Amino acid sequence: MGNVVSTWPLSLKIYLCNRLFTQAIDVWTGACLTFVFGALLEFALVNYASRSDFQRDQQLMRLRWETDSQLTLFDMQMQQQQLQQVRLSSPTPNKLDKHVAPSS
């Protein structure tokens, strides 16, 4: 296909009269080729940018999930330690204390 596109103006010049200056068909063909390759380049750049944005968003989501998981695990460990400290610091009720009559 590239060969056809590049030799198309040459084949048209055979059927048209030979002139040494630039013809309108040369300008038109050059403009069309410029827009086609520009669109191809734009597609490649937008595709690359959207994929890199998607990957960056995925990495951020993964990092946030890992951080939240670690914080949740850390919070659970801290709560367990606090609960153990409360249990150790509070006096344990003695079953015998309930049955002892108060002194009067």
Rounded to 10 deg, the angle between the 24-89 and 2-15 helix axes is 160
| Cβ–Cβ under 8 Å, residues 23 and 16 | yes
Q: How far apart are CA 86 and CA 73, in angstroms?
A: 20
Q: What is the pLDDT of residues 17-37, one digit of tens each?
A: 666 777 888 999 999 999 999
23 sits in the region (left: phi over 0; alpha: psi -120 to 50; else beta) called beta
Sign of the CA dihedral with 78 first, then 80, 86, and 88 last = negative
Amino acid 11: pLDDT: 66
Write down the pTM of the prediction: 0.39
